[in-house]
Homo-oligomer: A and B are copies of this chain.
Amino acid sequence: MSIRPPAEIGMALEEVDTPALVIELDAFERNLARMANALEGKPVKLRAHSKTHKSPIVGLKQMALGAVGLCCQKVGEAEAMVAGGIPSVLVSNQVVGASKLRRLAALSKQAWVGVCADDAGNVEDIDRAAAEFDTTIDVLVEIDVGAGRCGVEPGEPALDLASKIDSCSNLRFGGLQAYHGRSQHIRDYAERKAVTEAAVELTRQTVALLKAHKLDCDIVGGAGTGSFHFEAEGGVHNELQAGSYVFMDADYGRNLNQDGGFFDEFENSLCVYATVMSKPTDDRCSVDAGLKALATDSGMPVVEGMAEVEYLRAADEHGLLDLGKTNRKIELGDKLKLIPGHCDPTVNLYDWYVCVRNGKVEALWPVAARGAMY
């Protein structure tokens, strides 16, 4: 069954059915502009990550402000972005298995497609799929710059794999994927900076080693919303892969700036709009947005504009709020804005964005790659 949108164009926000995934367009557009401004004149471009928004509509807006294309995390995500008009997609992840590689190769006939690899056998599989479709695919070597997840070791192992790619007749060596996922949410500024700079240094050495072997890196990609200034300053990365900056979330809001204040370079432009559906006592109520409406892996959502109201815990379809510390009168039927702890997996729960400006619904955008996990 397809899910109808919870709103109509022109509706007042208060009329929107809940739970709904709401974009505040003014804040969202300011976030887009802030990132574009931050990178203006720098020798580094944005390749925004679509795993956050899963929407080619958002992606095209990012490209209109200077992004060179999008990153995707899954082939299905890349298919949805290309179908929506994005001309350049880098799957910033490993793709394993014949059927997925066949789709990846086919997609490279429609748009520029790159992919990451950290295994020689996988590189051969990508080459075989590319040959089958008579195409050429750019393959980046993912190096492990300290996160301990995917990627070969920097240095010689990266050189070996890059040489392997270079030797394949239907592949092009595309550069390096050097992303430190865990560094994004290191709270302390100095520590986050140090971890990222160490990652940049490993990347620098590897780029130099490859260059010494006549393997130039067209793309040196990495960075996220929490670290992108450090990679931008590092002088090695030329493509930044930030995604969350368009929406922000409660967890990024707990990162600290250099001055010890909270990370506020971008503002919360996304919320889950929810209704108070039960209020049996004065000191607690339940909203209709629980585990199926909000990702809680990075903590409970924050009630916007009501710091004294705590979202205590989520059940499948209930969010329990503590009203004991607020003077505000919250009644059954009231609608609240919840800032999700983690934007990416929250977005993936929804079929529609309800886009609002000045309290009025201005657009309904499909979450085109919702559920596109293979």
Measuring CB to CB, which residues of chain A are less than 8 angstroms from any residue of chain B? Answer: 1-3, 6, 17-20, 51, 73-74, 76, 80, 83, 93-97, 99-100, 118-119, 121-122, 144, 148-153, 181, 275-280, 284, 286, 288-289, 291-293, 295-297, 314-318, 320, 332-333, 342, 344-345, 348-351, 366, 368-374
Contact = CB atoms under 8 A, between A and B. Distances in A.
Contact of A316 (B51, B83, B95): B51
B1 A369 contact: yes
Given A96-B275, A149-B286, A348-B349, 11 more contacts: A1-B370, A3-B371, A17-B97, A17-B374, A96-B288, A149-B278, A151-B278, A152-B280, A291-B344, A296-B297, A297-B297
B3 A317 contact: no
Given A17-B374, A374-B19, A144 B368 contact: no
A3 B76 CA distance: 9
Please tell me how many copies of the chain the complex holds.
Answer: 2
Most buried by B among A96, A118, A320: A96
Contact of A278 (B17, B94, B333): B94
A369 B19 CA distance: 15
Contact of A292 (B148, B275, B348, B366): B348
Interface of A, secondary structure class, is loop
B150 A280 contact: yes
Contacts of A149: 278, 286, 315, 318, 320
Contacts of A315: 149, 181
Nearest to A100: B17
Contact of A344 (B152, B275, B316): B316
A278 B150 contact: yes
A333 B96 contact: yes
A288 B292 CA distance: 21
Contact of A317 (B122, B349, B373): B373
Given A97-B18, A316-B345, A291 B295 contact: yes
Given A17-B97, A96-B275, A371-B3, A150 B286 contact: yes
A18 B374 contact: yes
A279 B148 CA distance: 11
Most buried by B among A93, A94, A151, A320: A94
B366 A317 contact: no
A53 to B, nearest CB: 13
Contacts of A320: 149
17 contacts: A1-B372, A2-B2, A3-B372, A17-B99, A19-B373, A20-B374, A96-B288, A96-B332, A119-B278, A122-B332, A144-B280, A149-B320, A150-B277, A150-B278, A150-B280, A288-B374, A370-B371
